[in-house]
Structure 1
Amino acid sequence: MKKWMGLFLFVLFFLSACAPTKPAEAVTIRVALLPILDGLPIVVAQQEGLFEKYNVKVEILPVSSGPERDQLVAAGQADAMINELTSVMFFNKETPQVQAVRFARTATAEQALFRVLAAKGANIQKAADLKGVPIGVSQATVIEYLTQRLLEVQGFQPDEIQTISVPKIPDRMALLASGELKAAMLPEPFATLAEQQGAVPLFDDRLAPGYSFSVISVRKALIDQHPQAVKGFLAAIEEATQHINADPQKYSGLMVEQKMVPAPLAESFRVPTYPLKGVPTEAQFTDALAWAKAKGYLDKDLTYSDCVNPKLLP
């Protein structure tokens, strides 16, 4: 009897070991997403079923402004977003809340993300003409940071750089077009539209691309609880990025449909090239932190490891 019982248990163990295992239930990641070019790989991954391929569910929550995005993440109503290193730092000034886990977009020597333009008729033709001229920026963001760093690259002293806060891009464009702003920093594709409307391009972040990038950030609580889900999320975005870069114009209609480009540019603006996996370096982090502290936006040191997490990339 014992012999047969042992055989029965062996067969039962063997069958259970050979039985297909049920995949873990997919974790849902809620992404607060602005209608910006930086988000195209996330939308492509969603529409082409790549998140499901990597066993993760993604819910895209459309937002219309940075403050709305930040509020959703701070309240735990969204898990991920596209933002910038300074934004990550502001989230983490008391305790680590979010981590940058991947580049979203980066400037390169061939491709600009931001451009400084002068108003038509402002008699500003080159960067040197901006000394003492207030430049419209979004305060305490990558736009203000980048404006200062690009002017410094061109020999400006801190006391020669003046900025004025105009947070909303449409307002900045309107003031530039009317001449009430003599100069402004604008992201693409709005910089291209402003140029078409008569603004004078002066310089852009191709001068020093290492300063200019956006990141995908995720709540640290989600990373700690579900690291495999975040890895799947990033693997899907990586595959979507490869699809876009291989055939960019295939996605031009989606870019327009998602209102990532202004209507007047729908036919002419080309899909940009997106960066493959990577995160900001410690040097990039240190420079952004030094700027934020010098401006008085932060009053304490933060650590790279609290704010940037490279361990989740595929």
Structure 2
Amino acid sequence: MRKQFFVYGLAVLVVALAFAYIRIGPPPEAPVRLVTPPAIIASLPVWIAEQEGFFDKRNLKIEFIDLTNSKYMVETLLAGNADVLPAVSLVDLATTGGPGKFALLHSRIFSHARMKKNPPFEAILVGAGSTLNTLSDLADNSIAVYPGMTSELAVRHFLTEAGVDVMKVKFVKLPPPEHERALLRGDVQAIHVYEPFRSLSLSNGKARELFGSVYASLNEPSAIGVSAISRDFERANPVAAAQFLAAWDDAVRFIRDHPQDARKILAEKLGLPDEIAEKATWVDVTTVAETSYDTLKQTTISAVAAGIIPEGFVFERDMVYQE
């Protein structure tokens, strides 16, 4: 009789464990080291996944690393000190590491932005009372750009195409929160700024827009902003990697299905007034399955043509999109 009870109890335990395995999946093997820019809207999927419990649901242990410089993010991944870059520049992935050793060969892009001209996600702003009214007026003046190379190189190319002598323009790299303050102090006369700082500066009446999206002027939709995962991490920790990507998809779908709730989380994380969170342009990003080889390729080709990515970069050779 005892043996029958033991066998019965063991069977119940096995069924319970099997149900738990099916319901939440196997436990990931390792923590996921995640580099998150602390002050940009592109970190929203990560904040959503954290706050809505999508990481916990999949038994993921997340270790957060705060960096604001896109190139430093890539170097951290290449050094083996980070596993996922949720918001990083395609340019820095394509140019960090050197020929045959580009970061793109050591990482896999699993999501990307789809930037459009209207509404713009980023823009060139000047002070509300500025005498600068055209792009040509930027000559002999200073413009603040983001850390890393993408913002500066894109603006340089854009201004050159507009007939501006960029040799007469001073580019000043500043972290995002410093742009408006530098503009108001007169340290710079223009700023190339992303959301939510674009909406903040426009809404408070301290700045006005000189031009809309620089990135979407290169190609539309632009995938200049991407999300990447270390190939070494995927190979060593396939379950943790798969669970993270599933949590990412959960977060992207949440943003689409519950935009008001997503904007409330954005306001909370960035300390924004609700009205600014409502106005800020959210760039549509892809789920893992929606990631487009063609969009990434066209963005890369446009960036090479613009000199943002050096000549000689061959998409099919230097970027392994899918294995």
TM-score bracket for this pair, using the shorter chain length: 0.7 to 0.9
* Corresponding residue for residue 257 of structure 1: 268
* Corresponding residue for residue 83 of structure 1: 88
State the secondary structure of the residue aligned to 1:156: coil
Change (3 A) 1:145 1:102: farther
For 1:47-67, what per-residue CA distance to the aligned partner results, in whole angstroms no more than 9, with x for missing partners?
Answer: 3333455x5624141414226
Unaligned 5+ residue runs, structure 1? 1-15
* Corresponding residue for residue 282 of structure 1: 297
Find out whether 1:242 has 2:264 as its counterpart: no
State the secondary structure of the residue aligned to 2:82: coil
The structure with the largest alpha-carbon Rg is: 1
State the secondary structure of the residue aligned to 1:269: helix
Give the partner amino acid of 1:275.
Answer: V
* Structure 2 CA distance for aligned equivalents of residues 75 and 188 of structure 1: 30
Change (3 A) 1:188 1:161: farther
Shift of 1:78: 1.7
| Alignment equivalent of 2:172, drawn from 165, 168, 188 | 165
User: RMSD between aligned alpha carbons?
Assistant: 3.4
Find out whether 1:135 has 2:148 as its counterpart: no
* Corresponding residue for residue 44 of structure 2: 40
Unaligned 5+ residue runs, structure 2? 1-13
State the secondary structure of the residue aligned to 2:177: helix
- TM-score, with normalisation over the residues of structure 2? 0.73
Tell me the matched-pair count.
286
* Corresponding residue for residue 3 of structure 1: none
State the secondary structure of the residue aligned to 2:50: helix
- TM-score, with normalisation over the residues of structure 1? 0.75
Find out whether 1:223 has 2:230 as its counterpart: no
Give the partner amino acid of 1:80.
Answer: V
Shift of 1:45: 2.1
Change (3 A) 1:237 1:202: same
State the secondary structure of the residue aligned to 1:124: coil
Find out whether 1:178 has 2:191 as its counterpart: no
* Corresponding residue for residue 30 of structure 1: 33
Find out whether 1:57 has 2:60 as its counterpart: yes
Q: What's the % identity of the aligned pairs?
A: 18
